Amino acid sequence: MSSETITDAGTIAKALAHPLRIRIIEAFSVHETLSATQVSRDWSLPLGNVAYHVRRLAGLGIVRLVDEVPRRGAVEHRYQLVPMVLGDLVAVTASLGATPPRISEFGSMLRVVREARGVSHRQLGRRSGVGPAYIAAVELGHANPRLSVAVALADALHATVTIAPR
C-alpha cells in the first residue's frame, strides 16, 4: 500500500482477523521497531507463525520494513508500525472485542506518530500549547495526560483520539 495513512476500516479489520496480529500491533505501541525473531523469542512462539503474520501486516500496509540486519548467516527484518489514524484502530479493535490501546500506551503511540510526521517535541509543543518537556514525559510513560491534552496533541499531529468502551 503506497499511502502514508490508513483510514480504510476494512484493511484494519483484515489486519485484526487473527489474535496474534492484534498482539503484534499492540507490541508495536511499546516498541518502535520489531522483528519476527524478537517477537518469537519473547513470546515463545514458532518463528514461522510470527513471520507469516508480520508479513501479512506488511502486505496490508499496517507495518513497513525499516531495516535488514545480518544475523548468523541470515537477515533479520525489522518493521515499524505505519502511522495511521489512531482512532480508527481503537474503534475497530473495540468493535471486534479486542483490547484497544490503553491510555498508558498513548505516549508510545504519540511518539510513533510524531516521529513519522517529522515533528520535534518543540514543534509539537508550539502547535498544541503543551510544553516540550511534558510531551517527552508522556512519550516515556512518566505522565498520563488529561483527555484535553491528549486531544490537543493528537489534533496538532492531524490524528484522532477515540474513547472506546471496555
104-138 pLDDT, tens digit per residue, is 577 878 887 888 788 899 999 999 999 988 888 88
Residue 95, C-alpha cell as written in the block = 468493535
Domains of the chain: 9-81 (1.10.10.10), 102-156 (1.10.260.40)
- Picking from 125, 91, 115, the residue whose alpha carbon sits closest to that of residue 8 is 91
What pLDDT is stored for residue 11 in this prediction?
Answer: 63
Cβ–Cβ < 8 Å for 24, 39 = yes
What pLDDT is stored for residue 24 in this prediction?
Answer: 83
What pLDDT is stored for residue 1 in this prediction?
Answer: 37
pLDDT < 70: residue spans in the chain: 1-16, 29-30, 83-104, 163-166
At 42 the three-state DSSP class reads helix
What pLDDT is stored for residue 165 in this prediction?
Answer: 52
CA-CA distance, 135 to 59, in Å (whole number)? 32
Q: Apex CA 156: angle with CA 154 and CA 159, to 5°?
A: 40
CA-CA distance, 136 to 141, in Å (whole number)? 9
At 8 the three-state DSSP class reads coil
What pLDDT is stored for residue 64 in this prediction?
Answer: 86
What pLDDT is stored for residue 44 in this prediction?
Answer: 87
Give the Å distances, CA to CA, from 55 to 35, 47, 78, 93, 125: 11, 12, 11, 20, 36
What pLDDT is stored for residue 42 in this prediction?
Answer: 85
Helix/strand number for the chain, H first, E second: 9, 3
What pLDDT is stored for residue 10 in this prediction?
Answer: 64
* Residue carrying C-alpha cell 498520563: 144
What pLDDT is stored for residue 127 in this prediction?
Answer: 93
**Neighbouring C-alpha atoms within 13 Å toward the C-beta of 110:** 32
Query: Whole-structure pTM over 0.85, yes or no?
Result: no
What pLDDT is stored for residue 89 in this prediction?
Answer: 55
What pLDDT is stored for residue 105 in this prediction?
Answer: 72
